[in-house]
């Protein structure tokens, strides 16, 4: 079955759903769309989704918790050498 046919069938199904099931389907679809929404781009132009951003933030937090960062003062000293 092609994408167009699937969409047509889904529209028919959605029109016949009761409210609780419709809400569940809506929540599932919204969560999927929200996680895959592009929220930014890398310096090289690659899209960053909500899911990727959350992963990056968690990784950065872990590095900070481990003390794996450079202070503003040390960064300025390093940059002055360039």
The answer, as to whether pTM is greater than 0.75, is no
CA distances for 17 relative to 12, 14, 45, angstroms: 9, 5, 41
> Is 24 in the same domain as 53?
no
Which residue from 37, 66, 31 is spatially nearest to 53, judged by alpha carbons?
37
Range of the domain at 9: 1-35
Q: DSSP class of residue 21?
A: H
Low-confidence ranges of the chain (pLDDT < 50): none
CA distances for 34 relative to 39, 45, 81, angstroms: 10, 20, 43
> Is 51 in the same domain as 69?
yes
Domains in the chain, number: 2
């Amino acid at each position: 079955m092609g994408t167009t046919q699937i969409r047509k069938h889904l529209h028919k199904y959605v029109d016949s759903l009761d409210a609780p099931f419709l809400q569940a389907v809506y929540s599932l679809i919204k969560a999927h769309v929200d996680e895959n929404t592009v929220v930014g781009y890398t310096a090289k132009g690659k899209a960053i989704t909500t899911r990727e951003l959350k992963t990056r933030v968690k990784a950065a937090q872990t590095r900070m918790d481990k003390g794996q960062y450079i202070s503003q003062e040390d960064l300025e000293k390093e940059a002055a050498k360039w």
